[in-house]
Structure 1
């Protein structure tokens, strides 16, 4: 299996793509595996979903042999194929769990879509990025909604059109990633610990809140909606436990230390 999913004792789903001989490039089979695995993970009772790859590079994007074969297909076949990649991006972007992406080495083409679809992205110092599609006479169409949302329209105008390679510090400046590290494993552990310390239902609710609020005008419907959201969670079992733990100066029951 090129795609594996492991659930830790602390209920964190670790999804790993392992195709290092092809620089973790994806083809139709890999895309189908990723969709199936992420859809399955989305239904699990877990506290986070981590996306990582095995090998020197995060992902070279689309497999060139696959791209060559698709060039021989007709328009309708290419649309159907592209819709599968679009589905992959959507199931990752809409995961109810907090998602963490770990990036090492090269991340080219469609790989930037996977990164942009995750809530948090951490890159190693040696990471390098490229929206390389126009070099091949193509465009980053399917990933564009997610990448533009991450880096903004103005920066997209540069990197979509130039296909230039940029390093981790630039990706950080653009907002594609959140942090650059010299130890991805330590960063993974750090962010997982942060997730586990927080109310699991609150984390998922906070994630959905962002989608509901971002880009909306601050008018009466939105104001009323946010008031209802906080009221609902205050009276929830988790909200009551969190507030009680705070005032009683103890750890809430969802924290690892509380159950050990």
Structure 2
């Protein structure tokens, strides 16, 4: 189905491999369109529990394809706006999936590549990974990725890195809150598998609701409206079959139905 992606399924876990290794998985129109379509299709598939995003070759993603950028420089404002909307839509499709998402990052994660890592719920980086918001060096700004990068590292740190375009080591990415885990590159798959195992213990509906909860609550003042919203969310979930099954499984000392062997 896809020319720039390889989709591998293993039970409830699906890995999206960006597969343009000759250009370090740089974005072009096709990769953006295919990644959008893949995220939407997997989000609609109840058999998919966890989505892992990874890159073939030496890099996770080096950001925008230079040939694509060159074409954009010669295009009209209207054409550039259409392209920018597609990129922004792809990032949102990834960020707002109802499933847990994990970025498996090795090598370069630059520009849009750092945006992808930030848009995923969890980022696991190899110790040799390098991140950057490098856009200002090309005379542009990290606009489409900014909601996700700022959410990951905060406005204060973004104020530095959006302007300096400094390279960020894996260790520094962990300090900033961008990377949750940093491991030896040859241990990446084992660490991702460990986190996947933990994710598969949770109820699918509750995990999607947890993601929506974070989007609703983050950076909001504790107002009467927010308190009421959080009360409504938990009350609604408590009445679901998934919640009843989860509580029953705990009381019966057995795995819940969504856990392998449950």
Q: Which interval holds the TM-score relative to the shorter structure?
A: over 0.9
Note if 1:186 corresponds to 2:190. Answer: yes
Pairwise CA RMSD: 1.2
Does residue 27 (structure 1) correspond to residue 51 (structure 2)? The answer is no
Relative to the length of structure 1, the TM-score reads: 0.95
Whole-angstrom CA distance in 2 between matches of 1:24 and 1:32: 14
Contact 2:51 2:101 (8 Å CA) reproduced: yes
Superposed CA deviations along residues 214-250 of structure 1, whole A, max 9, x for unmatched, are: 1222122222222222222222111111111212222
Alignment-derived partner of residue 41 in structure 2: 40
Match of 2:61? 59
Partner of 1:98: 100
1:201 aligns with 2:202: no
Distance in 2, matches of 1:173 and 1:98, equals 22
Partner of residue 244, structure 2 = 240
Where do 4+ consecutive residues of structure 1 move more than 3 Å? none
**Partners of 1:26 and 1:33 in 2: CA distance:** 11
1:103-118 → structure 2 map (5 Å cutoff): 103-118=105-120
Question: What TM-score do the two structures reach when normalised by structure 2?
Answer: 0.94
C-alpha deviation, 1:157, in angstroms:
1.1
For 1:70 and 1:217, the matched residues in 2 are separated by 40
Question: In the TM superposition, what are the counterparts of 1:47-196 in structure 2 within 5 Å?
Answer: 47-182=49-184, 183-196=187-200
CA contact (8 A) 2:112 2:145 kept: yes
User: Helix, strand or coil for the counterpart of 2:14?
Assistant: strand
How far is 1:4 from its partner? 2.3
How many correspondences in the alignment?
A: 257
Q: C-alpha distance in 1, partners of 2:219/2:58?
A: 38
Q: Partners of 2:229 and 2:94 in 1: how far apart?
A: 26
Q: Which moved further from structure 2: 111-120 or 247-256?
A: 247-256
Deviation at 1:28, TM superposition (A): 0.9
Q: Structure 2 unaligned runs (5+)?
A: none
| In structure 2, distance between residues paired with 1:141 and 1:178 | 23
Deviations 1:81-128 (A, max 9, x none): 111111111111111111111100111111111111111111000101
Deviates more, 1:208-217 or 1:149-158: 208-217
How much does 1:5 deviate?
A: 2.2
